[in-house]
Structure 1
């Protein structure tokens, strides 16, 4: 008798599973995808979409159609509680879903506390927020120059600042862009990468503020740690990401960040029927940076291990690479390439990133996404 596999979240780490669902269904298993949207937007191309380098349909996967075309069930809903002892998921709609094997790829959210119903503070996760923010900017900049604020000096915040400059250039409009970088711009990256990013932003007129962070933010004003107040028209919040509190709230073993604690098989040790990948997990063997490359590399491992868990076969370990490739999209066709000691900037760096990203999209855009209208869903 077949079993029930539930995928919670249609993110990067589940793409291979969703594309090859026929392998599971052929064995008599049922598969359900639970996702809050019919689409998943690829984070690696989000900043580029902000600057209009890419269209919305260039960076999204129609995950609902992807799984339905392969015989699986799609539920547009959200898991609010995991009852692991009963192998049951409680959904926001009130529905309860039973599983034999479940895998989580629910991503992460911004750690900064943002006022509810704010229309001027834009969290960079989920990625669709960047496109909605771009739409607001395009509407408002037609009336007056804008003051744009970016909160967070990590790779995401740096890319957002560069691509906001690219958007303004694309629109042939002027505005002020300020990046509040925290203790240091790109502090976890090699000094050469930091220097190149800082120099490029300075050349473009982007003000980078180091040594300060945002203590509090409200619509139109940010309070910095030294008491300075900065007013803005729009603020993009990229102050570090944290997994959903659902794992901790459900009493599952978690890491210090609240992510689902998993072993080398991407499996929760205390609950062998629970798996996960991407930003929502805490890899107990070696804590991993919250970067998309790990989620992408977990794709084939999750595909194999979920299949093997359903079939009672041995599992395959995930071996994360130590020196992962990082390429920053700095906007307007410029990039910064870094892997180990090899670091360089310019158009070649962006060209390499663009080739890698488009290749990933071609592999999993299997539902005619590029021919869809630009509406944001």
Structure 2
């Protein structure tokens, strides 16, 4: 009998959670360690901020999903991994041992200095876009500000897809609460610089129509209470602000002395396990895939899902592993602009409109139903 620990209950572990009954039936035990009883789907987080979804609609009841299938759920975060002794240290004071470990501990959003830091290090009314559940607090705060002040100045730092989605949906959040949104997106060097001129132009046109300002050039240097300080010395006042400056993998692997890749994530090979410690697997944002660099996007975590679940079961049984094939890098892109519209890019074609949001909404809701049903 072997013990599997699933560290985190994110996208890449959903099929492993579904497979718990089969794993248990072969005499193994499964423990899932996660910081909360529900896991929030990042693809719908901005839409929840903007009022398109409720928190319940964008989250999986992972504790119930694990326990109803015969696994054990421990509500805690992991503070350290001892890969030689195969021990995890948890925030609740427990230490748990494993035979096979899978990391799906996700990523965090860095500050302007590149460090992850903590929420306690941010001024009031400033939020990182991860963890997603913090956006519930942000949504409620924007509604309060709209009622109290009327006009609400919001700054979003980050010119990538997350920044775009947060700016458009923060605008919706204030407007739907009866306020007058004044949203500024600090886009760094260039808005959506990795996604082509056509997609950028569509975004700029939508934001211009809605009165969302886009600032390109000077970068955010720091947030102080009620104001953003830019690298060129400019000072922008705000009532609420968001950090969306990309993602940094969970630091657990590096702190444990495990091999890591260019982004700092756990280095894994074709079977999604560590070359140094083959009993340690991983998926999602917390890994670096050695055969080929992968973008930190949910599509790869979803693609890793079945292979990771199969390989965890095989590792417990001592069976051969299955290689992960990432598929085409020309994956479908759908960015929620707010206002009931989305950006679309696929096959080199970029478009925008309400139909694109309807498509994104359909795909996201289908994903939620697929794994939440039967929880």
TM range (shorter): over 0.9
Q: Counterpart in 2 of 1:371?
A: none
C-alpha separation in 1, matches of 2:123 and 2:50: 22
Q: Does 1:122 align with 2:138?
A: no
Q: Counterpart in 2 of 1:375?
A: none
Q: Counterpart in 2 of 1:85?
A: 84
C-alpha separation in 1, matches of 2:37 and 2:338: 28
C-alpha separation in 1, matches of 2:255 and 2:348: 42
* Alpha-carbon offset, residue 44 of structure 1: 0.6
C-alpha separation in 1, matches of 2:99 and 2:158: 40
Aligned residue for 2:292, secondary structure, equals coil
Q: Counterpart in 1 of 2:103?
A: 104
Q: Counterpart in 2 of 1:272?
A: 278
* Alpha-carbon offset, residue 97 of structure 1: 0.7
* Alpha-carbon offset, residue 298 of structure 1: 0.8
Q: Does 1:200 align with 2:206?
A: yes
CA contact (8 A) 2:147 2:178 kept: no
CA contact (8 A) 2:269 2:291 kept: yes
Structure 1 unaligned blocks of 5 or more: 369-377
Q: Does 1:308 align with 2:307?
A: no
Q: Does 1:285 align with 2:284?
A: no
Aligned residue for 2:370, secondary structure, equals helix
C-alpha separation in 1, matches of 2:308 and 2:27: 19
Query: In the alignment, which of 329, 341, 345 is matched to residue 336 of structure 2?
Result: 329
Query: In the alignment, which of 140, 149, 155 is matched to residue 145 of structure 2?
Result: 140
Query: In the alignment, which of 218, 239, 244 is matched to residue 238 of structure 1?
Result: 244
* Alpha-carbon offset, residue 218 of structure 1: 2.0
Query: In the alignment, which of 349, 352, 359 is matched to residue 359 of structure 2?
Result: 352
Q: Counterpart in 2 of 1:372?
A: none
* Alpha-carbon offset, residue 367 of structure 1: 5.5
Aligned residue for 2:315, secondary structure, equals helix
Query: In the alignment, which of 188, 205, 220 is matched to residue 214 of structure 1?
Result: 220
Q: Does 1:294 align with 2:293?
A: no
C-alpha separation in 2, matches of 1:210 and 1:362: 39
Deviations 1:68-98 (A, max 9, x none): 0011011001111110011111112221111
Query: In the alignment, which of 255, 258, 261 is matched to residue 255 of structure 1?
Result: 261
Aligned residue for 1:142, secondary structure, equals helix
TM-score, length-scaled by structure 2: 0.95
TM superposition outliers: structure 1 runs of 4+ over 4 Å: none
C-alpha separation in 2, matches of 1:216 and 1:166: 25
Output the aligned Cα RMSD.
Answer: 1.3
Structure 2 unaligned blocks of 5 or more: none
CA contact (8 A) 2:152 2:179 kept: no
Q: Counterpart in 1 of 2:42?
A: 43
Deviations 1:92-125 (A, max 9, x none): 2221111010001111101115662633110000
Q: How many residues align?
A: 367
CA contact (8 A) 1:111 1:241 kept: yes
Q: Counterpart in 1 of 2:73?
A: 74
Aligned residue for 1:85, secondary structure, equals coil
C-alpha separation in 2, matches of 1:225 and 1:118: 18
Aligned residue for 2:272, secondary structure, equals coil
CA contact (8 A) 1:48 1:331 kept: yes
Q: Which moved more, 1:168-177 or 1:234-243?
A: 168-177
Aligned residue for 1:86, secondary structure, equals coil
C-alpha separation in 2, matches of 1:219 and 1:324: 40
